[in-house]
Amino acid sequence: MERVAIIGASMTQFGERDAWIRDLLAAAGTEALADADIDASDLDHLYVSNMASGEFEGQTGVMNALAHDLGAVPAYTQRVDQTSASGGAGIYAAWQSIASGASEMTMLVGGEKMTHRSTAEATDVIASLTHPVEYKHGLTLPSFAGLVARRYLETHDAPRESLADIAVKNHRNGLDNPHAQFRKAVDRETVLSSPIVADPLRLYDFCPITDGSAALVFAPESVAEEVADEYVTVAGIGGATDTHVVHEREDPTTMRGVAESSRQAYEMADMDPTDVDFAELHDMFTILEVLQLEDLGFFEKGEGWRAASDGITHRDGELPVNTSGGLKSKGHPLGASGVAQVFELYRQLLGEAGDRQVAGDVGLACNVGGFGNCVTTTILEGPR
């Protein structure tokens, strides 16, 4: 089967934006078309990754509005929802559209508009993805994160400071990302003295509520060769679920969706974890970066906490993780986050990441929906 290429990408400023979801999607879409140097009329398919424009804004049908706003009609459109992994699911959908032969040019635009709602309201919309029984007992995603962090730290005798070091690293990286919501370095002490949200996790262990959008343009490699000077290819991709009810998991510190989706992606790419040069992981909570490092096969179980503290996942380390600043500092506009992860890999692989540039020709992105309810892993290779 012919490989799928990415020939253009964009992301908008993440943060509090005075713009509605329609505007955010159109902005990222317009920029990605320009980056790929194609017209909207070249698109066969147009996918929108978005969890909840209806709940946040009372506006649905945003994929059809986007086709209108970009001038892409009659391109086929669809909205892809996989909760906080909607972006990764959109990448999988766009990949399938090209790999199946249904489309020869697909754009994916991910976005979410959230900050016009209070943090409590936004958390409530997000919490609607959990099992109703869990939700009734106050088990929102942050509280799961607290429970799992405590379990991990105790089981593996890991220091609390190791989680703080992830926040410090990702904030440091975000300082060099012009699109990041927070461009502010923090030190370990600031993290450890910030207000408790879900013990043992504190404010700086959590990503913020964010508005933003990002986009990617996909084509078969034969088309990419014709229309693009440089491009990257999707070497491997996969997706998998874990139990919807978290307490049913044998070990809540193991993310089965991460392990299974990456197994599929490595197999398709004919690679193993040692082939990966850098990664963008779903650090919605600091503890999630640790669990992904392990379940993606980069570290043995119980050893992932050492990565940030030992400098391994720093920009000058062996395996730079979240050079973009991650969800932690860049922000987490649900439907955009998975798309923005791959935007970062794309820029890194093309050598266009500015002050954040690291070396390598293989990047991996892991996008987590809910509390690991469904996960996609994407491996990119380039430039070509």
Separation CA 69–CA 253 (nearest Å): 44
Is 125 one of the binding residues for its own copies (CB under 8 A)?
yes
User: Contact with its own copies (CB under 8 A): which of 7, 11, 38, 65?
Assistant: 65
Tokens of 247: 């307490």
Is 64 one of the binding residues for its own copies (CB under 8 A)?
yes
Is 246 one of the binding residues for its own copies (CB under 8 A)?
no
We find the least distance from the C-beta atom of residue 127 to its own copies, in angstroms, to be 9
Distances in whole angstroms, Cα of residue 300 to Cα of each of 11, 55, 167, 294:
34, 40, 21, 6
Stretch that binds its own copies, among 57-65, 149-157, 177-185, 301-309 (CB under 8 A): 57-65
Is 363 one of the binding residues for its own copies (CB under 8 A)?
no
Is 261 one of the binding residues for its own copies (CB under 8 A)?
yes
We find the least distance from the C-beta atom of residue 264 to its own copies, in angstroms, to be 9
Give per-residue burial for 41-54: e unless 16+ CB within 10 Å, then b: ebbbbbbbbbbbbe
Query: Cβ distance 98 to 106 under 8 Å?
Result: yes
Residue closer to its own copies by CB (options 212, 335) is 335
Distances in whole angstroms, Cα of residue 103 to Cα of each of 4, 43, 75, 220:
11, 8, 10, 9
Residue closer to its own copies by CB (options 197, 268) is 268
Is 254 one of the binding residues for its own copies (CB under 8 A)?
no
Is 210 one of the binding residues for its own copies (CB under 8 A)?
no
Q: Which residues contact 136 (CB under 8 A, 6 or more apart)?
A: none
Is 25 one of the binding residues for its own copies (CB under 8 A)?
no
Separation CA 338–CA 190 (nearest Å): 28
Q: Report whether the peptide linkage leading into residue 178 is cis, meaning its omega lies within 30 degrees of zero.
A: no
We find the least distance from the C-beta atom of residue 124 to its own copies, in angstroms, to be 9
Q: Which residues bind its own copies (CB under 8 A)?
A: 1, 45, 51-52, 54-55, 58-61, 63-65, 67-68, 72-83, 89, 92-93, 95-102, 125, 128-132, 237-245, 256-257, 260-261, 369-370, 373-374, 376
